DNA sequence: TCCGGTTGATAAATCGGTTTAGTGAATCGG
DNA sequence: CCGATTCACTAAACCGATTTATCAACCGGA
């Protein structure tokens, strides 16, 4: 019944002949560039397109316009962290708002895969690339990635020309420590982790700065390192809590360590928050709310970072904004029930 | 210095004139379809392509070949569950192996977004669509999605023509219960959740079947419902454990409820696993290993489901396999330390 | 009647590849 | 030595859109 008895989806040509106009007219109408086309013709085109169930072939349009409305999302690892979801969600929401789709690839940290992946993305004419790490780290970006606008997500590069967004670790640590101080704590321990990641050093700095700002002397003995899991937190906390002059508050590198600290406290018959106050970091959605008592902690702004990265990328794609090169995203405090005033006698 | 002094990336035409051959030859060589082309010419083309840093425009190739090497991944929600990562990872790995890229969109459950998203994907000529839910559920698939091969991931549809993969809830529950039975437990409770999702009913069935298979009478009083969080598990377990003839083993709808049950046990001074054995479900990566003691639980095979979905999709795209319509993926038991023999006197 | 300007539209080039249909020269069988 | 293959390669059509350049018809004014 259609004008051409061809197998396959309807093309613009089909719409054109159905409406009795040229392809040019159809294109103009469908893209709202129909400046001099009378409403009657316009409607005829629209009707024909609807009747035929016409769906433009984006590949063809993109080829001609040399665009793709697609951005690449390259990550080293997706599955092994619970943070990934929020970051991707943020990135997608921002992309969606700008009418762009996201091509995702995760490389599992394999440089060969990475090179191949970048080629695949660039071959598909992605307009920009978000390069995401699943925890705050320094990375080296392959040269190929720099062929299009590029933004680093939860990672930084030695190349300062590449915009990046990471959590404000120092600020978060500062606020966490200040939170304890504001409740009256003076002896505050820091459970740091042994790994040498940016987060570790910066959170320690934030802790120190908060003490300093409140005229509390930094005491190296109150900083104990452990591995960043529950066991490490348990061990580190235990070391501090058995001391006679033990701290009344603990700022922990992350929620897992905080959970370990809580376990140590339970074993020592210290009640939380009555005898010991605890602040974690990360706000793990399935951990922090469910410790006993629920853990006060700092939220890692993964969603917001994802949004920022894509927005920034799109600004660069549009050639609008090149000003901000390095964003530190604030980590908000999530108050639950693990912080209270210190016990009256220490 | 190049043959054409044009701005922009090098095209096949450039490679052709650099190598002194036609575009046809270049295309043939680069796509390994060069049947009758002598090695010398082939090498000249390869060298020219390398020298110019030629990267084929996939959009153009795809337009001509009417393919896209792209599949769409539509999900209702990504961020709010910790499972998403593994599913996406599985899907990506399988896609990657087949040389395809994944366009991801999440709709947040909004039907308008969904319709728009499907149009965007189909417009980009995706070869197939994976439709993923973030927990096992029944869904209705928009008609548009059926225009290309389609596979449901962690979801089922009333339309039995659509292949789907979901966890084998019943089998998992059967194995979990059997695990308790094999340790000698006879009075086994089931903490079910109140929501009416497929997982709930099927896990209850698996529990009953395991009892039956081992000649243990089903006792409705040992099944208590609670909300699917920690609080619900706590309340439900408490109700069972204060009874004089309390169960010695508990199969819990999920790990969060199991954690709640553990908390209830602690309060009642019941030791795990000496006084009470516990099996969870989901193997939440940040919960199950860190309860005290670590929780024996059933793993949801998200990665494997992701792989299966894409493999199945690709089979259908290639027109190879249309046989399997509904896959139930086994949930393996993850043994930790929360199950032991029942106490000698109950 | 002729001219300049607007209106409403279109033919054809183009994007960058793939693929079909050939072409001219060399080789081969008889 | 001649027709038939094979070899090595290419010109041109094509995929399905966008965009440029152009055109016919009409209108008002000189």
Residue B60 parent element (H or E):
helix B58-65
Q: How confident is the model at residue B287 (pLDDT cuts 50, 70, 90)?
A: confident
pLDDT higher for A83 or B10?
A: B10
Q: Do B39 and B117 have their domain in common?
A: no
What was the pLDDT predicted at B336? 97
Q: Do A137 and A162 have their domain in common?
A: yes
Whether B269 shows a pLDDT value over 70: the answer reads yes
Task: Specify if A346 maps to a domain.
Answer: no
Q: Do A155 and A174 have their domain in common?
A: no
Q: Do A24 and A138 have their domain in common?
A: no
Whether A227 shows a pLDDT value over 90: the answer reads yes
Task: Specify if A310 maps to a domain.
Answer: yes
Whether A2 shows a pLDDT value over 70: the answer reads no
In the predicted model, what is the mean pLDDT of chain B? 92
Full domain range(s) for residue A239 = 169-299
CB B187 within 8 A of CB B179: no
Whether A47 shows a pLDDT value over 60: the answer reads yes
**Rounded distance between C-alpha atoms, residue A105 and residue B93, angstroms:** 9
What was the pLDDT predicted at A1? 38
Through-space separation of residue B54 CA and nucleotide C25 C1' in angstroms: 32
Nearest to A175 by CA among A283, A309, A327: A283
Q: Which of A286, A292, A295, A307 to mutate to test the interface with B (most CBs of B within 10 A)?
A: A286
Give the CB-side neighbour count of residue A140, counting CA atoms within 13 A. Answer: 5
| B287 contacts in chain A (CB < 8 Å) | 286-287, 290
Mean pLDDT on A128-154: 92
In the predicted model, what is the mean pLDDT of chain A? 92
Which of A59, A89, A96 is the closest to B79 by Cβ? A89
| B86 contacts in chain A (CB < 8 Å) | 79
Task: Specify if A118 maps to a domain.
Answer: yes
What was the pLDDT predicted at A345? 60
Whether A223 shows a pLDDT value over 70: the answer reads yes
pLDDT digits (tens, 9 = 90+) for A5-38: 577 899 999 999 999 999 999 999 999 987 778 9
CA distances in angstroms from B84 to A304, B74, B337, listed in the order given: 19, 12, 27
Q: Do B103 and B146 have their domain in common?
A: yes
Task: Specify if B159 maps to a domain.
Answer: yes
Tokens encoding A79: 């599955």
Q: Do B235 and B309 have their domain in common?
A: no
Nearest to A172 by CA among A283, A321, A31: A283
Q: Do A295 and A173 have their domain in common?
A: yes
- Whether residue A105 and residue B96 make contact (CB cut-off 8 A), yes or no, is yes
- Whether residue A63 and residue B59 make contact (CB cut-off 8 A), yes or no, is yes
* Torsion over CA: B171, B174, B176, B182 (sign): negative
Whether B19 shows a pLDDT value over 50: the answer reads yes
For residue B24, give the nucleotide whose C1' atom is nearest its CA: D10
**Rounded distance between C-alpha atoms, residue B12 and residue B18, angstroms:** 10
User: Considering A257, A282, A299, which residue would you say is the last residue of a domain?
Assistant: A299
What was the pLDDT predicted at B346? 45
DSSP strand pairing (A297-298 vs A333-334): antiparallel
Mean pLDDT on B263-275: 95
Mean pLDDT on B170-179: 98
**Rounded distance between C-alpha atoms, residue A10 and residue A15, angstroms:** 7
Q: How confident is the model at residue B36 (pLDDT cuts 50, 70, 90)?
A: confident
Q: Do B162 and B202 have their domain in common?
A: no
CATH classification at residue B36? 1.10.260.40
| A113 contacts in chain B (CB < 8 Å) | 96
Range in A321-325, B52-56, B173-177, B293-297 the model is least confident about: A321-325
pLDDT digits (tens, 9 = 90+) for B294-324: 999 999 999 999 999 999 999 999 987 777 7
Which of A56, A62, A92 is the closest to B59 by Cβ? A62
Task: Specify if B29 maps to a domain.
Answer: yes
Task: Specify if A345 maps to a domain.
Answer: no
pLDDT higher for B346 or B51?
A: B51
Whether B234 shows a pLDDT value over 90: the answer reads yes
What was the pLDDT predicted at A292? 85
**B233 Cβ contact list (under 8 Å, min separation 6):** B191, B226, B252, B253, B256, B257, B258, B259, B260, B261, B263, B264
Q: How many domains does chain B have?
A: 3
What was the pLDDT predicted at A5? 59
Q: Do B315 and B231 have their domain in common?
A: no
What interhelical angle do A39-52 and A12-19 show, nearest 10? 130
Q: Do B176 and B162 have their domain in common?
A: no
What was the pLDDT predicted at B86? 86
Beta strands in B99-187 (DSSP E): 101-106, 128-139, 150-157, 164-167
Which of A68, A92, A124 is the closest to B104 by Cβ? A92
Q: How confident is the model at residue B1 (pLDDT cuts 50, 70, 90)?
A: very low
Beta bridge partners of A15: none
Q: How many A×B Cβ pairs under 8 Å?
A: 123
Whether A88 shows a pLDDT value over 70: the answer reads yes
CA distances in angstroms from B180 to A56, A323, B5, B175, listed in the order given: 58, 62, 76, 9
CATH classification at residue B248? 3.40.50.2300
Provide, rounded to the nearest whole percent, the portion of chain A with pLDDT above 70.
Answer: 97
Range in A187-196, A279-288, B40-49, B244-253 the model is least confident about: A279-288
Provide, rounded to the nearest whole percent, the portion of chain B with pLDDT above 70.
Answer: 96
CB B148 within 8 A of CB B132: no
Mean pLDDT on A111-137: 93
Whether A284 shows a pLDDT value over 80: the answer reads yes
Task: Specify if A5 maps to a domain.
Answer: no
**Rounded distance between C-alpha atoms, residue A203 and residue B117, angstroms:** 41
Beta strands in chain A (DSSP E): 70-75, 101-106, 128-139, 150-157, 164-167, 188-193, 223-226, 249-252, 277-279, 297-298, 326-329, 333-334
What was the pLDDT predicted at A79? 59
Q: How confident is the model at residue A3 (pLDDT cuts 50, 70, 90)?
A: very low
| A106 contacts in chain B (CB < 8 Å) | 89, 92
What was the pLDDT predicted at B5? 59
CB A82 within 8 A of CB A135: no
For residue A63, give the nucleotide whose C1' atom is nearest its CA: C15
Task: Specify if A2 maps to a domain.
Answer: no
Mean pLDDT on B262-275: 95
Q: How confident is the model at residue B2 (pLDDT cuts 50, 70, 90)?
A: very low
Q: Do A138 and A162 have their domain in common?
A: yes
Chain A residue with minimum CA distance to B92: A105
What was the pLDDT predicted at B80? 62
Q: Do B319 and B269 have their domain in common?
A: no
**Rounded distance between C-alpha atoms, residue A91 and residue A100, angstroms:** 11
Provide, rounded to the nearest whole percent, the portion of chain B with pLDDT above 90.
Answer: 79
Beta bridge partners of A120: none
């Amino acid at each position: 019944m259609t004008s051409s008895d061809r197998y396959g989806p309807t093309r613009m040509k089909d719409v054109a002949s159905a409406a009795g106009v040229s392809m040019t007219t159809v294109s103009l109408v469908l893209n709202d560039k129909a400046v001099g086309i009378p409403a009657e013709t316009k409607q005829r085109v629209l009707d024909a397109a609807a009747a035929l169930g016409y769906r433009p072939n984006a590949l063809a349009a993109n080829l001609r316009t040399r665009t793709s409305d697609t951005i690449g999302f390259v990550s080293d690892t997706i599955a092994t962290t619970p943070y990934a979801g929020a970051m991707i969600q943020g990135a997608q929401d921002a992309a969606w708002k700008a009418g762009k789709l996201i091509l995702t690839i995760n490389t599992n940290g394999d440089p060969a895969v990475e090179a191949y992946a970048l080629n695949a993305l660039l071959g598909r004419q992605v307009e920009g690339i978000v390069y995401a790490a699943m925890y705050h780290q320094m990375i080296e970006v392959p040269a190929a990635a720099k062929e299009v606008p590029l933004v680093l997500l939860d990672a930084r590069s030695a190349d300062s020309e590449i915009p990046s967004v990471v959590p404000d670790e120092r600020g978060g640590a500062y606020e966490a420590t200040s939170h304890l101080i504001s409740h009256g704590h003076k002896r505050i321990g820091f459970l740091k982790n042994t790994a040498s990641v940016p987060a570790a050093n910066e959170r320690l700095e934030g802790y120190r700065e908060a003490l300093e700002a409140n005229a509390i002397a930094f005491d190296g003995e109150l900083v104990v390192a452990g591995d960043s899991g529950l066991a490490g937190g348990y061990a580190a906390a235990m070391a501090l809590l058995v001391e006679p002059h033990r701290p009344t508050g603990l700022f922990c590198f992350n929620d897992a360590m905080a959970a370990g600290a809580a376990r140590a406290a339970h074993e020592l018959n210290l009640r939380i928050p009555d005898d010991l106050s605890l602040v974690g970091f990360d706000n793990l959605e399935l951990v922090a709310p469910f410790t006993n008592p629920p853990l006060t902690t700092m939220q890692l702004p993964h969603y917001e970072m994802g949004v920022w990265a894509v927005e920034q990328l799109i600004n660069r794609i549009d050639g609008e904004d090149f000003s901000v090169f390095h964003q530190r995203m604030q980590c908000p405090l999530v108050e639950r029930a693990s912080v209270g005033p210190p016990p009256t006698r220490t």
